[in-house]
Amino acid sequence: MIILGNCIQELGKLEAGIADLIIADPPYGNVLNNSWDRWNPDDYLTFSRQWLAECKRVLKDTGSLYVWTSIGPKSLSSWVCLVEAMRELYVFKDMIVWAKQRGRGNMRGWLYTREEIFWLVKDAKSYVWNKSDQYSTHQYDPSWVKRLGREANPYKRATNVWTDIDEVTIEQAKLSGGRGKRTMLHPAQKPLAAIKRLILAHTQPGDLVLDPFGGSGTTALAAKLTGRNHITIERDSTYVDIIRERLKE
């Protein structure tokens, strides 16, 4: 299901306790008034509390919430507000650092090559975790696996530092009409492989995955490809059209 509208209003219309997993990539604080110089942290804290509270209501007691963030010079104040709202409402499980292959930034500082993903739950003891789907794409040395026996998994367990996922895969580039080029459908587009990893770790086929900030629809696409249901909320009709096209392809 794809819903065009404001995430807080649309979340409020959903039944409580229906989502098995929520994956959210919220906007930075300046989006509320389009300026880094004049945005009000109190407004962003209120906004964060509102959508996070609605997500908690909609999330099952056994569910998980993942929140993508980026701790940078301009986004630090937004990040602090977001963390404060998360701390008030959820149990913190972990923070994943996604190490990108390509960096950004000027020559007067360290090249910026990471994003952070918070893993939050309602109950620290009852969340769903699929042990068979906790592996990365990094493989052990074949000789080492052979010594362990046939039943040994050749892939290493995924850690909370992801170094094996590129920013935009060729699959996503083709869907965007980039002819093999790394063409972004959305400024904050996330890699399909990362979203699929989260979905496989916490859900079963037929479960419901919710994305309150739909963007380019990567979560919706990952849900469809893994046999999960999805509810995707997006306020911009242009991106709603993009999401629908991606799901068709």
CATH number at residue 130: 3.40.50.150
Mean pLDDT of 68-96: 88
Tokens of 20: 């098995």
Tokens of 245: 């096209």
Identity of residue 225? L
Lowest mean pLDDT among 57-71, 112-126, 179-193: 179-193
pLDDT at 210 over 50: yes
Instruction: Let me know if residue 248 belongs to a domain.
Output: no
Instruction: Let me know if residue 249 belongs to a domain.
Output: no
Instruction: Let me know if residue 221 belongs to a domain.
Output: yes
Mean pLDDT of 81-98: 95
223 vs 44: CA distance, rounded Å: 29
pLDDT at 209 over 60: yes
- Print the domain residue range for 115: 2-243
Mean pLDDT of 75-104: 89
Residue 125: burial class (beta carbons within 10 Å; 0-12, 13-18, 19+): exposed
Q: Which of 55, 186, 189, 69 is nearest to 122 (CA)?
A: 55
Mean pLDDT of 155-182: 69
Burial 199-233 (b: 16+ CB within 10 A, else e): bbbbbeeebbbbbbbbbbbbbbbbbeebebbbbbb
- In this prediction, residue 169 has a pLDDT band, given cuts at 50, 70 and 90, of low
Residue 173 contacts residue 182 (beta carbons within 8 Å):
yes
Backbone angles phi, psi at 65, to 5 degrees: -120, 130
The percentage of the chain sitting over the pLDDT mark of 90, rounded to a whole number, equals: 59
Instruction: Let me know if residue 22 belongs to a domain.
Output: yes
Instruction: Let me know if residue 36 belongs to a domain.
Output: yes
The percentage of the chain sitting over the pLDDT mark of 70, rounded to a whole number, equals: 84
Tokens of 100: 């990108």
Mean pLDDT of 98-110: 79
Mean pLDDT of 97-105: 81
Instruction: Let me know if residue 237 belongs to a domain.
Output: yes
Query: Cα dihedral sign for 147, 153, 158, 162?
Result: positive
For 16-74, the pLDDT digits (tens) are 999 999 999 998 766 665 555 567 888 889 999 999 999 999 999 999 999 998 777 66
**5 Ramachandran zone, left/alpha/beta (phi>0; psi -120 to 50):** left
Count structural domains, the chain.
Answer: 1
Mean pLDDT of 189-200: 94
Mean pLDDT of 218-247: 95
Q: Which of 243, 244, 164 is nearest to 196 (CA)?
A: 164
- In this prediction, residue 124 has a pLDDT band, given cuts at 50, 70 and 90, of very high
